């Protein structure tokens, strides 16, 4: 058993059946799982792990556990072990059954609704264990508590039997094993790297807690009582990761900035409780133009921010303005720093913990607790002002970075006003290279961004003029990863694209004015084409995120090969597809003919011999490899890449914003060794899915 529960006994600290409050029944979960886990896709599947893990993590946040292990078992089972107090097993006065059974089989039952169970928790309002149980074909709960080893098993949320004491024990903790229900989740495939990434983040948020992840899916032997050390002792190489961070959020900032050049060496850090709100903030400025603020409430990631982020931004802007004027770095007559100025190049992690917490929406993407704003604003303001006073050199570096952002903002505003506002008011015409479509309905319009005049010519001739527009790009566009708006708008290629889309850019961006509801990047299948595609993805991710989030951005998948068997024509996107086709036709890849036509029949050959010879020759295909879209004639381009009934498009989505930020930092930033290492490590999976 994985580092099972600690051998020394723990005091229950009032954590018993009295701590468990029951609100309602369980049946709705299986009927509407999306209401509880967001989706029954892969994100929802992994959410089951997060919910069980969160219960163990809450034990650690309360100071009752310091070791958690998540194991991927054979038969698509997941096991989570902690060395906490152990789930209560005494009889609950309301349900008249064990508190363990109450927690596992009743919605809204847990130690997080009043009582003395938890001061702070981050679980899904206490419903996590029961939701996971309801959505699993099999669940097993093992509890080591007060010298006893207890067991209960469940089928789709219903207990098989009462909780049983099956032995004695000298350690404490809980073990939950579950198997997701295939009738709920169409695909049950766990991503080890995704789990590692999520739990690494959690390890930073809960200092001095050891979190291990073990992938034992391929282990052929008995695993019920095996942990990572046991696997290694047997000589099996089992993928595993263990995280333990004393530095908490400070360590996470350093980790996030590992591919960046810091503006100041010291990472600012504060941790303090105010008005029953525990506030923790760490930050560092880097030589970049993007801001990266990551926010958590009770260790739950808030993708949309919330009141704690609002309080932080207010305090940051006020504190830097005050310091700059007090120390005569900025004169009284000068313009104040704005929120936009002080955020440029900032990497910041904000974490708050509250006893009573309110989120906006079921997914907990945005914190709504009002008290968090004031607490963060006060705690951060006092501590950051002290940091600036005690580190004058670093303070000047930070102010210098912000001053640079202010000057750049003013220059970008002037450029933006001259280009975009003038265009909007004076009727700036669409780019001359744009071959626009006839329809004015954005929902049926699509624009192909193609590489070069050659591809532009073929696509203009082969398109459906009513609904399809073509915009050729000349060469590689500017790398916008480290370019400011004024420099971007000096680039004709980017300016043409902005005007063609109609949305404007920066603070004028308006997704409702998008002229095409399908923006299709169509570049060649070579290194230059891949580079241009990545440059365009960077542009859209950094400056037109609404286009991606709205589902309007696509990547065309033109074929790499054309195979002709007589009058039969096949278009193939990969070498593997070509190999499969040739194999199906009984032809070895090295035998195919590049350009071969039938010879005239010899007069002395019999009719039967001639037919046999012709058949043999026709069996060998003519193979053409396309180096670019410009090599296709208009008909081929329409058939393979532009015809909505036959083409293949990949929709661009951002599954993980933080991971996408990291990838763009590496690929498009200035750290050459990091980029080289990343490309070498990911060469086999070169398709970039964002």
265: three-class secondary structure by DSSP: coil
The two tokens of residue 661 are 């930020």
263/284 Cα distance (integer angstroms):
8
Gap between the Cα atoms of 355 and 307, Å rounded: 16
Q: What gap in Å lies between CA 366 and CA 352, rounded to an integer?
A: 13
For 520, the 3-state DSSP assignment is strand
Residue 526 appears among annotated catalytic residues: yes
DSSP string computed for 266-285 = SPEEEEEEETTEEEEEEEEE
The string of DSSP letters for 187-246 reads: -----HHHHHHHHHHHHHHSTT-EEEEEE-TT--S--TT--HHHHHHTT----EEEE--S
Chain center to CA of 401? 29
Other Cβ atoms less than 10 A from the Cβ of 129: the count is 27
Run of H or E residues at 662: helix 657-668
Total count of residues recorded for the chain: 690
155 an active-site residue? no
- The catalytic position among 218, 417, 526, 596 is 526
Task: List, in sequence order, every beta strand (DSSP E) within 32-163.
Answer: 67-73, 77-82, 109-110, 136-145, 148-155, 158-159
451 is catalytic: yes
Residue 440: strand, helix, or coil: coil
* HEC per residue, 293-312: EEEEECCEECCCCEHHHHHH
CB 586 within 8 A of CB 565: no
Residue 357: partners with Cβ closer than 8 Å, 6 or more residues away: 297, 298, 367, 369
| Angle value at C-alpha 438, between 435 and 444, nearest 5 degrees | 105
Element of type H or E holding 342: helix 339-343
Which one is catalytic: 524, 636, 661, 665?
524
Active-site residue (options: 528, 577, 659, 671):
528
Rg, Å, the chain Cα set = 30
Picking from 168, 166, 1, 167, the residue whose alpha carbon sits closest to that of residue 80 is 1
Tokens of 537: 């993805």
Helices (H), 345-391: 370-390
Q: Tokens 């999976």 — which residue?
A: 685
- With a CB cutoff of 8 Å and minimum separation 6, the contacts of 476 are 528, 531, 532, 535
Q: From the candidates 101, 451, 636, 639, which is the catalytic residue?
A: 451
Q: Is 151 helix (H, G, I), strand (E, B) or coil?
A: strand
> Looking at residue 580, what DSSP letter applies?
H
Q: Are strands 468-473 and 568-572 parallel, antiparallel or unpaired?
A: unpaired
- What tokens does 530 get? 């891949």
Q: For residue 679, what are the contacts with CB-CB under 8 A and spacing of at least 6? A: none
Nearest residue to 610 via CA among 619, 598, 594, 621: 598
Residues annotated catalytic, as ranges: 451, 524, 526, 528
């Amino acid at each position: 058993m994985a580092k099972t529960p600690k051998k020394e006994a723990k005091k229950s600290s009032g954590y018993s059946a009295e701590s468990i409050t029951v609100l309602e029944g369980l049946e709705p979960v299986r009927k509407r799982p999306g209401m509880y886990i967001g989706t029954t896709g892969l994100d929802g599947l992994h959410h089951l792990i997060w919910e069980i893990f969160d219960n163990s993590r809450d034990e650690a946040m309360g100071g009752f556990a310091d070791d958690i292990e998540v194991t991927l078992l054979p038969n698509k089972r997941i096991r989570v072990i902690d060395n906490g107090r152990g789930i209560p097993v005494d009889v609950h006065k309301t349900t008249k059954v064990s508190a363990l059974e109450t927690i596992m089989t009743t919605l809204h039952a847990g130690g997080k609704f009043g009582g003395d169970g938890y001061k702070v928790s981050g679980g899904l309002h206490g419903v996590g264990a029961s939701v996971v149980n309801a959505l699993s074909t099999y669940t097993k709960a093992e509890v080591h508590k007060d010298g006893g080893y207890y067991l209960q098993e469940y089928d789709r949320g219903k207990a098989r039997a009462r909780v049983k004491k099956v032995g004695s024990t000298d350690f404490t903790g809980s073990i939950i094993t579950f198997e997701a229900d295939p009738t709920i989740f169409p695909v049950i495939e766990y991503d080890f790297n995704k789990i590692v990434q999520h739990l690494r983040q959690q390890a930073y948020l809960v200092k001095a807690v050891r979190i291990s992840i073990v992938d034992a899916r391929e282990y052929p032997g008995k695993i019920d009582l095996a942990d990572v050390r046991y696997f290694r002792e047997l000589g099996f190489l089992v993928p595993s990761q263990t995280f333990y961070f004393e530095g908490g959020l400070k360590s996470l900032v350093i980790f996030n900035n590992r591919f960046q050049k810091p503006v100041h060496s010291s990472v600012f850090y504060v941790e303090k409780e105010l008005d029953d709100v525990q506030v923790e903030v760490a930050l560092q400025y880097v030589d970049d133009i993007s801001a990266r603020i990551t926010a958590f409430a009770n260790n739950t990631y808030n993708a949309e921010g919330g009141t704690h982020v609002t309080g932080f931004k207010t305090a940051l802007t006020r504190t830097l303005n005050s310091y700059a004027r007090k120390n005569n770095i900025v004169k009284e007559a000068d313009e104040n720093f704005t929120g936009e100025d002080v955020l440029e190049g900032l990497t910041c992690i904000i974490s708050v913990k509250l006893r009573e917490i309110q989120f906006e929406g079921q997914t907990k993407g945005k914190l709504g607790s009002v008290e968090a704003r004031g607490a963060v604003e006060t705690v951060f303001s006092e501590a950051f002002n002290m940091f600036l006073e005690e580190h004058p050199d670093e303070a000047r570096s930070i102010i210098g970075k912000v001053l640079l952002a202010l000057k750049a903002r003013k220059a970008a505003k002037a450029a933006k006003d001259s280009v975009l506002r003038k265009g909007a008011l004076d009727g700036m015409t669409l780019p001359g290279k744009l071959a626009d479509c006839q329809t004015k309905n954005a929902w049926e319009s699509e624009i192909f961004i193609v590489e070069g005049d050659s591809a532009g010519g073929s696509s203009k001739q082969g398109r459906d003029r009513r609904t399809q527009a073509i915009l050729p790009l000349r060469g590689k566009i500017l790398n916008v990863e480290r370019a400011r708006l004024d420099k971007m708008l000096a680039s004709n290629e980017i300016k043409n694209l902005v005007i063609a889309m109609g949305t404007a850019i920066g603070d004028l961006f308006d997704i409702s004015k998008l002229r095409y509801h399908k923006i299709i990047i169509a570049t060649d299948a070579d290194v230059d084409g891949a580079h241009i595609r990545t440059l365009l993805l960077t542009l859209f991710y950094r400056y037109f995120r609404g286009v991606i989030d709205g589902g309007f951005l696509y990547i065309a998948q033109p074929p790499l090969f054309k195979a002709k068997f007589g009058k039969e024509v096949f278009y193939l996107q990969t070498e593997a597809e070509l190999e499969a086709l040739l194999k199906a036709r009984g032809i070895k890849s090295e035998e195919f003919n590049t350009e071969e036509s039938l010879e005239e029949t010899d007069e002395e050959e019999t009719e039967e011999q001639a037919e046999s010879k012709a058949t043999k020759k026709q069996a060998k295909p003519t193979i053409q490899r396309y180096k670019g879209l410009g090599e296709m004639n208009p008909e081929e381009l329409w058939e393979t890449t532009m015809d909505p009934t036959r083409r293949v498009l990949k929709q661009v989505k951002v599954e993980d914003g933080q991971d996408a930020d990291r990838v763009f930092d590496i690929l498009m930033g200035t750290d050459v060794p990091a980029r080289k290492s990343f490309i070498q490590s990911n060469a086999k999976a070169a398709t970039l899915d964002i």
